[in-house]
Amino acid sequence: MNLFDLFTPHKKTWLYKVNPAVKFVLFFALFMIVFFNQHYQFTMNIMIMSALLLFLFSGYRLKRLLLFSIPIVISIFSTAVTMILFGKGETIWWQWGIIKISEESFYKGLLLGFKSASFGFLGLVFLLTSRPVMLFYALMQQLKLPAKFAYSFMAALRLVPIIIDELQARSNAFKVRGVTFSKGIKGIFERLRLYMLPIFAQSIRRAQRLAIAMEAKRFQIGADRTYYYPTTYQPIDGVFALLLISLSLGAYFLS
Amino acid sequence: MWLKNKKGRIDLKGLRFTDLLITIMVGIVFGVIMKFWDDLYSVIKPIMPVARQLLYGMWFMVGPFAMLLIRKPGVAIIASLAGASLSAFIGHGFEVLLYGLVQGLGAELIFASFRYKRFGIFVAGFAGVASCFAGFFLDLFYGYAALEAWALFVKYGLRVISSFIFTGIFAYYIVRALEATGVTNSIRPVSKEDYESLN
């Protein structure tokens, strides 16, 4: 099974039809609320809500979704543990050397774990049900993102596979030639320098050629333009907004 | 045509389309490098807490690096956001977008306070430290910062040192080496000396 199959849904649910710009704005708003909120019960409800969205409406098979969820579950523990062991607090439950578990640090740790899981699930729902290119087209048309930003992003994203190839080619070349690095911080600098220098020199030249080619084809900053993929607001966007808002309110009142 | 700004004046410092595309490209390349860095970081994370914080400066490098390279207003924040967008696309979620934006803003403010005229080791290093403080500010709201005083001091103290090393020293010398390849000649703002050399 190749990587492309891994990210192909079993069936395309209604979430795929929601305007990506609308989806992005609503998810980002929800993300901001969770980010600044300090109440662990509410965060837990949001986490459950985002997990439900993922498992019910993403259109992927259960086995695949469980596989995607493994890193998220690990992140709950890895973020919670440091805070539980070293967080500040008054009501001490258990202490051993510099490790101190208190009531406050325990709940703070849970809060952190639930937050990172909420972000993980929300991000996954968004990524699995939206195509990057359509997101940029919708951002340009519905949210008036200037075309120069959107097209620069799309062009640069297309070049990512080339960048990865170049990095791997260099890594192999170092191995073949037996390049060795110093120990410690100096070694880190040598590594960064050897990898970054050619990658950036190449990428800058490539970006420059690309920009000149686009301008030669009459791509103009600030000019009125038409779009290859027209995107609009649809009734389903309203349904999605209502669902998300009512679920969030539910999460709030249940906490 | 592209050298003129909205008022029709010739604009030597503003971002042309070429500059914008290069800035975003630099951000995206950093996004890819940060992905590989993240793999290294994840291995070290549980076993070497001190080394882990010392490697943290990498996340602040993108904004100052792009600014040292291109030297035009807005570059640090756009590159930082572009790097974060790539991380978000490969599955690091919405929080990296927010961190990228705020950290880029921190670096941008330092360069702006020197009126985009100073690009030495110290200014670049301070830009990195400003990014680090901006990240700390977000950590306060996220909840990462509610540690015991000693743990807080060790964690963020090491991070400040690391951000200075990565954005000041490392970024500065790598950009210097890039200058030697000649790729920066056509993207930097045209200076007065350049004009005089034409006469």
Q: B13: pLDDT confidence band, cut at 50, 70 and 90?
A: low
- Could you tell me the residue ranges of all domains in chain A? 3-141+233-253, 147-216
Q: What is the pLDDT of residues A116-141, one digit of tens each?
A: 999 999 999 999 998 889 999 999 99
Greatest CA separation found in chain A?
69
Q: What is the pLDDT of residue B1?
A: 41
Which residues of A fall within a CB distance of 8 Å from B17?
148, 152, 211, 214-215, 219, 221
**Planar angle of CA A10, A11, A14, nearest 5 degrees:** 140
Confidence at B164, pLDDT banded by 50, 70, 90: very high
**pLDDT in the model for residue A1:** 47
Share of chain A above pLDDT 70, in %: 97
Mean pLDDT for the stretch of residues A47-59:
91
pLDDT for position B2: 47
Q: What does the mean pLDDT of chain A come to?
A: 89
CA distance A238 to chain B (A): 22
Q: Looking at residue A4, what is its pLDDT?
A: 59
Q: Which residues of A touch B85 (CB under 8 A)?
A: 153
Work out the average pLDDT over B162-167. Answer: 94
pLDDT tens string B35-49: 888 887 777 766 677
Convert the pLDDT of each residue in A66-104 to its tens digit: 998 998 888 888 888 878 877 777 777 877 777 778 888
Report the C-alpha gap between A119 and A58 in whole angstroms.
Answer: 16
Lowest mean pLDDT across A57-71, B66-80, B103-117: A57-71
**In B, residues 82-111, which contact A (CB 8 Å cutoff)?**
82, 85-86, 88-89, 91-95, 97-98
The answer to whether residue B54 neighbours chain A at the CB level (below 8 Å) is yes
From A26, which residue of chain B is nearest by alpha-carbon distance? B94
Q: Map out the domains of chain B as residue ranges.
A: 17-188
A152, A193, A200 ranked by CB distance to B24: nearest: A152
DSSP sequence for B130-157? HHHHHHHHHHHHHTTT-B-HHHHHHHHH
Nearest to A100 by CA among A112, A85, A90: A85
Q: What is the mean pLDDT of chain B?
A: 86
Query: Are the CB atoms for A152 and A213 separated by under 8 Å?
Result: no
The DSSP string of chain A is --HHHHTS-SS--GGGGS-HHHHHHHHHHHHHHHHH---HHHHHHHHHHHHHHHHHHS---HHHHHHHHHHHHHHHHHHHHHHHHHB--SSEEEEETTEEEEHHHHHHHHHHHHHHHHHHHHHHHHHHH--HHHHHHHHHHHS---HHHHHHHHHHHHTHHHHHHHHHHHHHHHHHHT----SHHHHHHHHHHHHHHHHHHHHHHHHHHHHHHHHHTT--TT-----SS-----HHHHHHHHHHHHHHHHHHHT-
Question: Mean pLDDT throughout B140-149?
Answer: 80
Give per-residue pLDDT as tens, A186-217: 888 999 999 999 999 999 999 999 999 999 99
Least confident of A51-65, A239-253, B3-17: B3-17
Q: Which residue has the tokens 């008022």?
A: B7
- Chain A: give the shortest CA distance to residue B133, in Å: 17
Structure tokens that stand for B4 in this block:
């003129």
With a cut of 60, say whether residue B24 has pLDDT above it.
yes
pLDDT at A2: 56
Q: Which residue has the higher pLDDT, A39 or A100?
A: A39
Give the three-class secondary structure for B191.
Answer: coil
Taking residues A151-168, report their average pLDDT: 93
Instruction: Give the mean pLDDT of A21-44.
Output: 93
pLDDT at position A163 = 94
- Percent of chain A at pLDDT exceeding 90: 58
CATH architecture of B17-188: Orthogonal Bundle (1.10)
Q: Nearest CB to B174: which of A157, A167, A192?
A: A192
Q: Which residues of A touch B2 (CB under 8 A)?
A: 215, 221
The candidate with the shortest Cα–Cα distance to B58, out of B157, B154, B162, is B162
Q: According to the model, what pLDDT value does residue B175 have? A: 94
Q: Which residue of B has its CA nearest to A207?
A: B22
Per-residue model confidence (pLDDT) at position A78: 82
Contacts of B18 in chain A (CB under 8 A): 207-208, 211-212, 215
The amino acid present at B187, given as its one-letter code, is I
> Does B146 reach chain A within 8 Å, measured CB to CB?
yes
